[in-house]
Amino acid sequence: MALDASNGYVAAPSLQNLNEIALPIFNVERVQLQFSIASDFVAAQVANNVLILALSNGRILRIDLDSPEDIDDIDLPKKTSEVGVIKRMFLDPTASHLIICTALGENYYLHSQSRQPRPLSRLRGVPIESIAWNPSLPTASTREILIGASDGNIYEGYIETSTEFYRKEDKYLKLLQRIPEGAVTGLWVDLVAGKPDFRRVLVATQSRLIHLSGRIGRVAHEGGASIFTKLFENEQPTIYESSSVSGAPSSLVVSPDHPDAASPESLNPDRIFAWLSSQGVYHGRLLTTPATPELGTKVFAEAKMLPRSQIPASEYASGRKKPIPEPVDSIALTQWHILILVGSRVVAVNRLDDRVVFDQVVLESGQQALGLYADQQKNTFWLFTTQEILEIVVTDEDRDVWKVMLETEHFDAALRYAKGPAQKDAVATASGDYLVSKGAFLEAAGVYGKSSKPFEQVALTFIDNEQQDALRKYLLTKITTFKKSSIMQRIMLASWLVEIFMSKLNSLDDTIVTKAELSETLNPAQTKDQLDSIRTEFQDFVVKYRSDLDKKTTYDIISSHGREDELLYYANAVNDYSYVLNYWMQRERWRDALGVLKKQTAPETFYQYTSGLINHVATDLVDILMRHPDLKARNLIPALLDYNRNFKGSLAQNQAVRYLLHVINQLNSTDAAVHNTLISIYASHPSKDESGLLSYLESQGDEPRFDSDFALRLCIQHSRVQSCVHIYSTMGQYLQAVELALDHDEIDLASLIADRPTTNAALRKKLWLAVAKKVISQTNGIKTAIEFLKRCDLLKIEDLIPFFPDFVVIDDFKEEICSALEDYSRNIDALKKEMDESSQTATNIKVDIAALDHRYAIVEPGEKCYVCELPLLSRQFFVFPCQHAFHSDCLGRKVMEQVGVATGKRIREVQGLISKGMVTGARRDAAIAELDGLVASACILCSDFAIKRIDEPFVLPTDNRDEWAL
């Protein structure tokens, strides 16, 4: 297998190319002073971006480097002539506390919030050489600090600022130990492993470096008593000794806070210490574990010496026949380098490989340096002279750390510090080569996978060494480096991985089956555990890279190895459920196929596989189908009909019927095909019992969803008489229904049908006559036939006589005939009575008509028209029996408003004929009579006219509303 190098594989970069960086790591810059000085600097300190300068005239300058224009000018309480010049100063890392020491043994304390130094009475006469500040970095007080003197004494003190005259700043001063060999040139205190009651103390002298660690004492209240006494009295120190030269400088420095110390991803949490002695610079890590007295032994075991001879000499010293090492005046620590002040030069040495990375003359001839200083919190570095301030600017100092780690075969550390893809790739390649050389193929596989080493070389390396596990790990790592757009590469790697996984699984299976040992160190039980692990790994691989696997290729690879479980797992992972279902169905493992189907939701899957499953697991399949109401039952009909043809049980056990009834009754299906299918199954069943079919037909009511003609043909074909009769009945074909029932001697059924057309008496009678004819023809006893026919109230004895046979004599049903004659007699009497009543009514009507000619109404002289309210007698008028009276023209207008279009048109025509004299004589009288009939046919206030006006408002828009106001 070969992968194109243009898709991400390039040659590993050489270390020489990665070293070409233009900017130097260190650069010395002179600081432009914002002030003028009248005397030289005699001491200096810097911390937390605050610069403290002591002048030879006794003045102290406090400068905030963030705003250098603001300078505090501070004077000592006494003149220089009284206390001597300032010899040295000690500033804590927070720049909160400053201790000033003069040449005559006077010591002063100055807080950052004060401008007035206060004398330390308990420290008067103590020649302070070094101070170890409290690791808690307080601001209100120094808390417990260690003080080293030039006479070898180590004190514990507690200093706090006080505005009260009678209170002393130094609360107590406790002598802890005396170092016999002389001055204590360096002190350091820090916490260990985060334990609040555990301290580590470093003490430096001219010839010894002492490491002391252990528990400290506790006091009731802060500053109440010494806490370091217990540590110095109880713990045994670890000592590193070095021969000393009289007058050689000695100092102890500790690296500044790491820039990422507050970050959980900090790469190097341990500080670095460096002790300057006459032999050189002894440096190492301040390990924080284990938190036991043996910690010092481990610290010194890992530390190493940078001999004076390795510090380059100046050109003048090198030009001598026998170069003499120049004296080292001062040192400072950066994160990765040791800054050394050698005469007028500043030399920077990489503490990892002792390589000199910077060597530059920074002092002019005759200049005197005060020393190198580091700002512990801000990671800045300074060189002070008696006249100048120089800043040593550090630029990307960890740029070469990865290379040093790589050269010393610390590959994990090299990878952590490598920056950019090129450096990381160089580390990965070198690390992989080293691991392969040591035979650690698995570890090399993970490293090679992240490198740009040619794919073919790495793969062949593992293949040649028969390292399939390493090859698998390499391919798994490598595939993650390809982008999604590298489709072919990802498919090839993924397919190769499937092949490797299958081979590995088969190998492990064979080992378990034969109970042979896979290797000298792996027994069969362990082999089984490994098999489970590899199987899980394969499953995770499939889930993660399923989009990079070609289906056909993957199926072929897995199938060729006979790995059934893996084959099905892959198919499920890529949602190829059709493949899984086909697989189980081909092997007739119906339950397994059903288990897969349960998890499906796509309707097409159910349509496709129902026909194959229903004949074997019908009940469970129908249970599943019933849980999917979104299925179209029409698409399942072929499978249901095929199942019904092969089913030999009862209808109650028929799962096709069960499913169709669920669709019809629960899902309210209106699909005629579904209903017709159910009828077909019911009708074609060998059983003679029609109860199920009939129950279904009755449940459909008067508007059935099935095709009535289709259902009728099926029922006739399979002799389902009751069902046919019911269908005829629902179709309104009662005669056919009755005839069919009678043809099959279903007298009672025919009788029920005959009673159904309740609104059509003639049809009902016809149906009952057909039933009567059948009953009479089948019944031997005439009386029995007549009793049965009494169930219908439409038939009379005379209707039944034609159906009786000719030999029947009247004696057989004379009672019925007599009863019928009596009924006729009663009916004749009732009709006669009705005729008499009608005759009397007609006579009364004639009398009333004759009386109409003599009827009259009395109109009073002052009576008014009910429309215009003018006197009624002023013109022609009408008076109605209800005593309402109207002028004829007023009545005509009101009638015209309410009558229809045709009547209104006729009234206008007749009025025109009479008013224009177009008719005379008898025709005029007829016209007047017609007009009176049209206009005065009824009173407009209490007849149908008034009822039609019920929706009119009482108060019209034209009325005066004030008259109706309440």
| Domain locations in the chain as residue ranges | 403-570, 610-819, 872-964
Contact 874/934 with Cβ under 8 angstroms? Answer: no
Cis bond before residue 307 (omega within 30° of 0)? no
Instruction: State the residue for tokens 């009247």.
Output: 810
SS3 state at 253? strand
Beta strands in 161-242 (DSSP E): 170-178, 186-192, 195-204, 208-215, 238-241
Strand boundaries in 564-680, DSSP class E: none
Q: What is the pLDDT of residue 724?
A: 81
Query: What would the two tokens of residue 155 be?
Result: 């004190």
374, 342, 275, 335: which is closest to 45 by C-alpha? 374
- Assign 3-class secondary structure to 694-731: HHHHHHCCCCCCCCHHHHHHHHHHCCCHHHHHHHHHHC
Give the Cβ contact number of residue 651 at 10 Å: 17
Kindly report the backbone phi and psi dihedral angles of residue 477, in degrees, each rounded to the nearest multiple of 5, phi listed first: -75, -40
Q: Is the pTM of this model over 0.75?
A: no
Q: How far apart are CA 217 and CA 205, in angstroms?
A: 25
CA distance 13 to 32: 43
Q: What is the pLDDT of residue 4?
A: 41
pLDDT at 259: 73
pLDDT score of 179: 92
- Tokens matching residue 96: 């909160």
**Distance between CA atoms of 389 and 371, rounded to whole angstroms?**
11
Mean pLDDT by 10 residues, the chain (966 residues): 37 45 78 77 93 91 87 90 92 94 93 90 93 85 93 93 68 91 92 82 94 85 82 93 81 87 50 92 90 88 91 62 68 94 92 89 88 93 92 86 75 74 76 75 77 81 84 83 86 89 84 62 71 86 88 89 85 82 84 85 85 87 90 90 87 89 89 89 85 84 83 84 78 75 70 67 68 66 62 58 55 61 74 85 80 73 85 83 84 80 80 77 82 80 77 71 61
Q: Order of strands, edge to edge, in the sheet holding 186-192?
A: 186-192, 195-204, 208-215, 238-241
Instruction: List Cβ neighbours of 313 (8 Å cut-off, separation of 6 or more).
Output: 323, 324, 325, 326, 342
Cβ neighbours for 181, distance < 8 A, ≥ 6 positions apart: 152, 205, 206, 207, 208
Q: In what order do the strands lie in the sheet with 380-385?
A: 26-30, 389-394, 380-385, 369-375
Strand 153-160 to strand 141-149: parallel, antiparallel, or no bridges (unpaired)?
A: antiparallel
| One-letter amino acid of 62 | R
Per-residue pLDDT at 334: 93
pLDDT at 417 (0 to 100):
77
Instruction: Report the alpha-carbon distance of residue 270 to residue 288 in Å, rounded.
Output: 7
Assigned token pair, 687: 């059983």
pLDDT of residue 7: 38
527-545 as b/e: b if 16+ CB within 10 A: beebbeebbeebbebbeeb
d(CA 333, CA 381): 9
